[in-house]
A and B are shown apart, each in its own frame.
Chain A
Amino acid sequence: QKEVEQNSGPLSVPEGAIASLNCTYSDRGSQSFFWYRQYSGKSPELIMFIYSNGDKEDGRFTAQLNKASQYVSLLIRDSQPSDSATYLCALLRGGTASKLTFGTGTRLQVTL
Chain B
Amino acid sequence: DVKVTQSSRYLVKRTGEKVFLECVQDMDHENMFWYRQDPGLGLRLIYFSYDVKMKEKGDIPEGYSVSREKKERFSLILESASTNQTSMYLCASSSGTGAGGYTFGSGTRLTVV
Task: Give A contacts to B, CB under 8 Å.
Answer: 32, 34, 36, 41-46, 49, 51, 88, 90, 92, 97-100, 102-105
Return 26 A-B CB contacts under 8 Å, by A number: A32-B98, A43-B90, A44-B43, A44-B90, A44-B102, A45-B104, A49-B101, A88-B42, A88-B43, A90-B102, A92-B98, A97-B31, A97-B97, A97-B98, A98-B30, A98-B31, A98-B50, A98-B95, A98-B96, A99-B33, A99-B48, A100-B94, A100-B98, A102-B42, A104-B42, A105-B42
Q: With A98-B94, A104-B41 given, is the CB distance from A92 to B107 under 8 Å?
A: no
Cα of A97 to Cα of B97 in the assembled complex, Å: 6
Q: Which residues of A contact B65 (CB under 8 A)?
A: none
Are the C-beta atoms of B100 and A49 separated by less than 8 Å?
yes
Nearest B residue to A44 via CB reads B104
Asked if A97 and B50 make an inter-chain contact with CB atoms under 8 angstroms apart, the answer reads yes
Q: State the main secondary structure of chain B at its contact with A.
A: loop
Which of B40, B97, B107, B109 is close to A98, meaning CB atoms less than 8 Å apart?
B97
Size category of the binding interface on chain B: 20 to 34
Please tell me if the beta carbons of A103 and B42 are within 8 angstroms of each other in the complex. Answer: yes
**Nearest chain B CB to A32 CB, angstrom units:** 6
A100 contact set on B, CB distance < 8 A: 94, 98, 101-102
Chain A neighbourhood of B103, CB < 8 A: 46
Q: Is the CB of A90 within 8 A of B42?
A: no
**Contact check: which of B94, B98, B107 meets A43 at CB < 8 Å?**
B107
Kindly list chain A residues whose C-beta atoms are within 8 Å of the C-beta of B45.
99
Is B106 an interface residue when CB atoms closer than 8 A count as contact?
Answer: yes
Task: Tell me the bound Cα distance from A38 to B99 in angstroms.
Answer: 20
Inter-subunit contact B98/A99 (CB<8 Å): yes
Selected contact of B106 from candidates A42, A92, A97, A105, CB within 8 Å: A42
Q: A92-B101, A99-B33, A103-B42 are in contact. List 5 more A-B contacts (CB 8 A).
A: A43-B90, A98-B94, A98-B95, A99-B48, A104-B41
